[in-house]
């Protein structure tokens, strides 16, 4: 069972004013000077972990460089010393090429297009929090370290302050436009508040030929139909973490609001008042809502 204190969730959209930076170690505006007693980074920019079963690497987005260059710094900390003071980023990586260059502790590192998008999004929102990001926090070429870190994955997710979920997919990516993301965030909140699908503000008095309505509907479809839902880590990331939020270009939507909205969509799918409307709007959307609702409700049973 999920501990009672982990069942508490925020209901409102998290503002860009940033509520996730309390009690975090201070950010350094300038690049830090290496401690002469610490082993220098290896060829891939990774310091050797003295205790890979207890230590983790955390990243922080740098604001000391030109915005044309995405840069992050890393630091190694004991997990027990940073409990509840870092954020894990959950995103879809499977099958993607390492094609985007960023600077990590001054060295060029290639990451996936999707991860690059999420880091740019967090930078635009002013994120200064410590971030746990699998491909930058774990030396993927060091099998011994990777094995030790995977073994402590449940401890990592139990120890986060929150998880940011990026639903984007390389081939079915969510559009970057902040205005559209603000619309979908509003629709999620309306559904979570009890509205029927056909009662949503952006569908009221609109015909199927309305470009505005179709744009948001298409975005809703993409949110529910991304590769993130097929990842093997989804259950662990959502169930173990004390909090979870959907990361959009416009800001955040709480997982509780999202899960409640999807449950509402599924109720609408089964109701006479909305089922025909849903099929008329998009025949594939009805089945998609059903599939995602099973994953969301089960995965978030401690929150809803």
- Average pLDDT over the chain, rounded to an integer: 75
The pLDDT score that the predictor gives to residue 205 is 44
Q: Are residues 125 and 187 in the same domain?
A: no
Domain that residue 61 falls in: 47-160
**Does the pLDDT value for residue 29 go beyond 60?**
no
The answer to whether 112 and 96 have CB atoms below 8 angstroms apart is yes
Q: Which residue did the predictor score with more confidence, 204 or 89? A: 89
- Joined together, the tokens standing for residue 289 give 């809502």
Which residues, including other chains, have CB under 8 Å from residue 214's CB and lie 6 or more apart? 208
Query: Does position 253 have pLDDT exceeding 80, yes or no?
Result: yes
CA gap 42, 39 in Å, rounded: 9
Answer whether 240's CB lies under 8 Å from 154's CB. Answer: yes
206, 149: one domain = no
3-state secondary structure of 259: helix
**201 plus 292 within the same structural domain:** yes
Residue 204 within any structural domain of the chain: yes
Q: How does pLDDT run across 207-216, given as a tens digit for each residue? A: 444 545 555 6
Same domain for 114 and 224?
A: no
Same domain, 145 and 185: no
What is the per-residue pLDDT across 157-191, written as a single tens digit (0 to 9) for each? 999 999 999 987 654 455 556 777 788 888 888 88
Torsion of CA 181, 182, 188, 189, to 10 degrees: 160
Helix (H) or strand (E) holding 131, with range, is strand 131-132
Strand partners, 164: 89, 245
Residues 6+ apart with CB under 8 A from 43: none
Q: Rounded to whole angstroms, how far apart are CA atoms 221 and 134?
A: 27
Co-location of 128 and 205 in the same domain: no
pLDDT at 239: 84
For residues 75 and 150, state if they share a domain.
Answer: yes
The residue written with tokens 């169930």 in the block is 239
Residue 35, in any domain of the structure: no
Q: Is 113 in contact with 101 (CB distance < 8 Å)?
A: no
CA distance 243 to 7: 8
188 assigned to some structural domain: yes
Q: DSSP label at 5?
A: G
Asked, for residue 193, whether it belongs to a domain, the answer is: yes
Q: Domain end: 133, 160, 187, which one? A: 160
pLDDT at 290: 74
60 and 123 in a single domain? The answer is: yes
Sign of CA dihedral 42, 156, 230, 253: negative
Percent of the chain surpassing pLDDT 90: 35
Return the pLDDT at 263.
85
Tell me if 19 is assigned to some domain.
no
Long-range contacts of 5-8 (CB under 8 A, 24+ apart): 5/242, 6/241, 6/242, 6/302, 7/302, 7/303
Q: What is the largest CA-CA distance in the chain?
A: 70
Do 72 and 134 have their domain in common? yes
pLDDT in tens, 119-150: 999 999 999 999 999 999 999 889 999 999 99
Q: List the Cα angle 163/160/63 in 5-degree steps.
A: 70
Q: Of 160, 194, 209, which closes a domain?
A: 160
Evaluate whether residue 194 is within a structural domain: yes
How far apart CA 164 and CA 238 sit, in angstroms, is 10
Q: Is residue 267 domain-resident?
A: yes
Residue 161: closest CA among 3, 24, 302: 24
Asked if 139 and 184 sit in the same domain, the reply is: no
pLDDT digits (tens, 9 = 90+) for 54-107: 999 999 999 986 778 899 999 999 999 999 999 999 998 866 788 899 999 999
Same domain, 109 and 197: no
Domain count, the chain: 2
Rounded CA gap, 299 and 239, in Å? Answer: 6
User: Does 119 lie in the same domain as 203?
Assistant: no
Domain boundary among 98, 133, 160: 160
Among 248, 265, 298, 245, residue whose Cα is nearest residue 191: 265
pLDDT value, residue 249: 83
CA 41, 114, 163 angle in degrees (round to 5)? 80
Let me know if residue 39 belongs to a domain: no
Mean pLDDT of 12-41: 36
């Amino acid at each position: 069972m999920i501990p009672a204190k982990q069942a508490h969730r925020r209901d409102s959209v998290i503002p860009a004013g940033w509520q996730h930076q309390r009690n975090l170690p201070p950010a350094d505006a300038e690049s830090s000077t290496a401690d002469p007693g610490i082993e220098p980074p290896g060829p891939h920019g990774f310091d050797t972990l003295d205790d890979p079963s207890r230590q983790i690497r955390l990243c922080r987005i740098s604001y000391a460089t030109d915005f044309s260059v995405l840069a992050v710094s890393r630091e190694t900390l004991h997990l027990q010393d940073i409990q509840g003071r870092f954020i894990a980023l959950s995103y879809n990586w499977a099958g993607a090429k390492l094609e985007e260059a960023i600077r990590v502790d001054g060295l060029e590192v290639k990451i996936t297009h999707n991860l690059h998008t999420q880091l740019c999004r967090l930078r635009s929102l002013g994120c200064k929090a410590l971030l746990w990001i699998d491909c930058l926090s774990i030396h993927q070429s060091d099998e011994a370290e990777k094995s030790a870190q995977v073994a402590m994955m449940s401890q990592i997710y139990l120890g986060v302050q929150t998880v940011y979920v990026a639903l984007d997919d390389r081939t079915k990516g969510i559009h970057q436009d902040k205005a559209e993301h603000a619309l979908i965030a509003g629709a999620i909140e309306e559904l979570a508040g009890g509205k029927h699908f056909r009662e949503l503000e952006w569908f009221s008095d609109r015909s199927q030929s309305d470009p505005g309505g179709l744009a948001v509907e298409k975005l809703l479809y993409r949110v529910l139909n991304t590769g993130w839902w097929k990842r093997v880590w989804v259950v662990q990331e959502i169930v173990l973490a004390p909090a979870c939020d959907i990361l959009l270009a416009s800001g955040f939507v709480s997982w509780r609001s999202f899960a409640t909205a999807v449950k509402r969509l599924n109720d609408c799918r089964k109701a006479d008042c909305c089922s025909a409307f849903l099929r008329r709007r998009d025949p594939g959307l009805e089945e998609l809502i059903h599939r995602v609702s099973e994953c969301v409700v089960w995965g978030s049973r401690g929150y809803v």
